[in-house]
Amino acid sequence: MISPEGAFPAVGRSITYRFGAFQHLAQMALQHRLPEHMEPAQVRCVLTRVIRRIMEASDNFDDNGWLKIGFCGHQPELGEAYISTGSLYLCSIVFIPLGLPEADPF
């Protein structure tokens, strides 16, 4: 459900993890378990587009370079009691496939 522009429906309580919602897709790419109709390069391209769309928005980082609470920019009203600056970094799990050997098509 990712558009060509890198937009996707933001649903659930943990949307402040930004593109952390794509952990499962990243994991399937890492394990070479993508559906037959899906190529690793497609996953790489769509994840890149999502990451850029969200992270190139203004006001994502504080003066010390830490992520702020929000989905796209600083949106503290989206935070739940369990959300902290550290928990925002669950978004980094989208980079799981980058741990693959150089020869991997991802």
pLDDT reported for residue 7: 92
What are the CA-CA distances from residue 38 to residues 7, 28, 46, 50, 74 (Å)? 19, 11, 11, 17, 34
How far does CA 11 lie from the centroid of its chain?
Answer: 14
Of 32, 39, 48, 55, nearest in space to 95 by CA: 48
Q: pTM of the full predicted structure?
A: 0.83
- pLDDT tens sequence across 8-51: 998 888 899 998 889 899 889 888 899 999 988 899 899 999 99
d(CA 79, CA 49): 24
- pLDDT tens sequence across 60-97: 999 999 999 999 999 999 998 888 899 999 999 888 88
